Amino acid sequence: MAYRALTEQEAVEYVRNLPNLFATGATLASHEIGDGNLNLVFHIRDEEGGKSVIVKQALPYARVVGESWPLTLDRARIEAEALQIQYKLVPELVPHVYHYDAELALTVMEDLSDHIIMRKGLIAKNRYPLFAKHIGRFLAHTLFYTSDIGAHPYEKKALVGSFINPELCKITEDLVFTDPYEDASTNNFNPLIRPEVEDIWHNAPLKREIAKLKYGFLTRAEALLHGDLHTGSIFVTETSTKVIDPEFAYYGPLGFDIGAVFANLLLNYAAQHGLAKNDEERESYRAYLLETVEDVWSEFVSQFVQLWHKQAKERSAHVEGFWQDYVKNVLQDAVGYAGCKMLRRVIGLAGVADLNTIESDEVRAEAERLALAIGQALILERTQVAEATDITAIVNKTV
């Protein structure tokens, strides 16, 4: 079928005709539930049998802006292929793909509606005791096995070729690494923080560090990244974690995905200024968030280093001292990328609900100033970071 955006009814007819999903003649209910910036997401459920699936379809433009912002349908292929690679490495941590249709740019996948989007869970101040272990495993396995250390050299180069994702990378290059640091038309910030934003636009040493981080994003094909690993791309329950939405996947610096997780935990930390009901609740939840940042790093690093020692295909992996230097660079990159991601969520086009939920403009501005201060400190001080407790120290010093 030639490409066209499906209606709810057409999505039902589409899945009805796929083998092995629903019984013939089943009564299927369909709802478009997409809340993301880019795509259509249909939830389709058998009203008697109870079975359900998700149909995600790319639009030929960015949903958040409309048809004036055309965007490649190839992102649906990238997403489906990335999900399939991740499923081979960590099947319990991603949705199962049932079907991919290149022409319609759509993927039929496992319905995860029994989970909640982690950003919502953090806004509700829920705690997820297994999250750090799960996301540490996701990061360690997906990054290690696609890197030059863990993949066969031919396989690695072939993967780089399948995940050239220029249009989605360009969105990151502009919206994370460029526009927020100058007076760009895409920016969208609270007018009350204009003085702090202008300080950033005029902060030459900061912009120099961001330029270096951007150059790393542009040039370092280290591992197959998820590319958009914010807490809106993570589904959680108390016992389960599932990573969705890897349409930004490409070969880039490992620290970028880890930094995305740090940034989104710390954006919630800043937002607790306005989200928490009282000081006690705020302090306690913030302590949980900082602990989670540290645990994510320690889970990642212990699993990654274990894979390095046991599964490395690259012989130089065993050269004395190399893994320690490598891991330290990943942490410093992660801290720098976390800083960029915090700044862009305050200044740039796409904000986060953690902050935007705060109703009072004044209170939200205070939370945003804190996010800006933490983000800048992370970028400027990243080269002194040697362990995850140094991140906690930077945050505590900034408050």
Of the two residues 38 and 263, which places its CB atom closer to ligand ADP in the complex? 38
Site of tokens 């012989």: 315
Our finding on whether 359 is near ligand ADP (CB under 6 A) is no
Largest CA distance in the chain: 65
Rounded alpha-carbon distances, angstroms, from residue 14 to 42, 48, 108, 119, 315:
11, 19, 10, 31, 49
Q: Are 207 and 237 in contact (CB under 8 A)?
A: no
Our finding on whether 354 is near ligand ADP (CB under 6 A) is no
Q: Is 348 left (phi over 0), alpha (psi -120 to 50) or beta?
A: beta
* Part of the chain binding Mg ion (CB under 5 A), chosen from 55-63, 242-250, 295-303, 317-325: 242-250
Q: How far is the CB of 75 from Mg ion (least distance, A)?
A: 8
Q: Quick one: which of 36, 46, 240, 328 contacts Mg ion (CB under 5 A)? A: 36
Residues 231-241: b if buried by 16+ CB within 10 A, e if exposed: bbbbbbbeebb
User: Which 19-38 positions form the footprint of ligand ADP (CB under 6 A)?
Assistant: 33-38
Q: Is the dihedral of CA 303, 304, 309, 311 positive or negative?
A: positive
Residues 260-291: b if buried by 16+ CB within 10 A, e if exposed: bbbbbbbbbbbbbbbbbeeeeebeebbebbbe
Tokens of 38: 């880019």
State how far the Cα of 349 lies from the Cα of 59, in Å rounded to an integer. Answer: 19
* Size of interface with ligand ADP, in residues (CB under 6 A): 22
User: Which 281-320 positions form the footprint of ligand ADP (CB under 6 A)?
Assistant: none
Pick what 41 binds: Mg ion, ligand ADP, none; C-beta below 5 to 8 Å, kind-dependent.
ligand ADP
| Residue among 180, 213, 165 at smallest CA distance from 351 | 180
State the alpha helices, DSSP H only, in the chain.
Answer: 8-16, 74-89, 118-123, 131-146, 153-162, 166-175, 194-201, 204-219, 255-275, 279-311, 322-347, 353-356, 361-381, 389-398
User: Which 223-282 positions form the footprint of ligand ADP (CB under 6 A)?
Assistant: 232-233, 244-245, 247
Our finding on whether 79 is near Mg ion (CB under 5 A) is no
Q: How far is the CB of 339 from ligand ADP (least distance, A)?
A: 23
Pick what 109 binds: Mg ion, ligand ADP, none; C-beta below 5 to 8 Å, kind-dependent.
ligand ADP
- Residue 331 annotated as lining a ligand binding site: no
Q: How far is the CB of 30 from ligand ADP (least distance, A)?
A: 13
Q: Quick one: which of 8, 32, 101, 111 contacts ligand ADP (CB under 6 A)? A: 111
Identity at 328, one-letter amino acid code: K
Of the two residues 95 and 274, which places its CB atom closer to ligand ADP in the complex? 95
For 41, the 3-state DSSP assignment is strand
Q: How far is the CB of 246 from ligand ADP (least distance, A)?
A: 9
Which residues lie below 8 Å from residue 198, measured CB to CB, with a gap of 6+? none
Residue 207 phi/psi, 5-degree rounding, is: -65, -30
User: Which 117-176 positions form the footprint of Mg ion (CB under 5 A)?
Assistant: none
Pick what 112 binds: Mg ion, ligand ADP, none; C-beta below 5 to 8 Å, kind-dependent.
ligand ADP
User: Which 245-264 positions form the footprint of Mg ion (CB under 5 A)?
Assistant: 245, 247
For 56, the 3-state DSSP assignment is strand
- Residue 369 annotated as lining a ligand binding site: no
- Residue 283 annotated as lining a ligand binding site: no
Pick what 95 binds: ligand ADP, Mg ion, none; C-beta below 5 to 8 Å, kind-dependent.
ligand ADP
Pick what 34 binds: ligand ADP, Mg ion, none; C-beta below 5 to 8 Å, kind-dependent.
ligand ADP
Q: Name the residues that contact Mg ion, by CB under 5 A.
A: 36, 38, 232, 245, 247
Q: Name the residues that contact ligand ADP, by CB under 6 A.
A: 33-39, 41, 54, 56, 95, 109-113, 117, 232-233, 244-245, 247
Task: Mark the binding-site residues for ATP, compressed into ranges.
Answer: 39, 56, 110-112, 245-247
